[in-house]
Each structure stands twice: as C-alpha cells, then as structure tokens.
C-alpha cells in the first residue's frame, strides 16, 4: 500500500481518518524519539563530566607529586586557568 486511498480502502475508513491517524502517530513517534535522544544525551554528558573529573584529579595528583619533588609539574588544563591572569 502506497497511498492514503489504498490504506483507507483496506481499513474501510475515510481517507481523512487515515491522514489524521498517521499524523497523530508521527507526533507520538517524534515525542518518543526526542525523549530518547535527550535521555541518551544526558547520559553521555554525565559520563563525559565524570571522565573529565577523573582526569582532573589525576592531573592535580601528578602536579602535586612533582611540586613536592621540587619540580614545577605539568601545566593545568586551560579550563582551570581561564580566570588566573
């Protein structure tokens, strides 16, 4: 079936009903896909932030060890030094 008319004949309903129901179904699918995409995006953001925090803790730990050993340590990430000038 490739047309609204064919679907209407097969289901024994008016063409307007087919169009209306398909439109409603598209709206439901759009909302569901949007919600799914938002949930996936939030999950990725949480994992990215957690990974960034782990890296930051490791960088600070390496820097502190180097400073204790008399060195200067690796430079801090730009995100941490943006306000320090």
For residue range 4-24, list pLDDT tens digits in order.
Answer: 999 999 999 999 999 999 999
Listed residue (7, 33, 31) closest to 19, CA to CA: 7
pLDDT of 24: 93
Q: Cα angle vertex 79, ends 75, 85, to 5°?
A: 70
Report phi then psi at 57, rounded to 5.
-60, -40
pTM of the entire predicted model: 0.45
Rounded Cα distance, 38 and 47, in Å: 14
Rounded Cα distance, 70 and 63, in Å: 11
DSSP 12: T
pLDDT of 13: 95
């Amino acid at each position: 079936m490739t047309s609204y008319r064919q679907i209407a004949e097969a289901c024994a309903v008016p063409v307007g009903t087919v169009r209306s129901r398909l439109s409603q179904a598209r709206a439901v699918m759009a909302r569901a896909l949007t919600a799914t995409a938002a949930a996936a995006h939030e999950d990725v953001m949480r994992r990215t932030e957690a990974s960034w925090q782990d890296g930051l803790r490791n960088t600070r730990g390496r820097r502190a060890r180097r400073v204790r050993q008399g060195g200067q340590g690796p430079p801090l990430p730009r995100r941490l030094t943006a306000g320090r000038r």
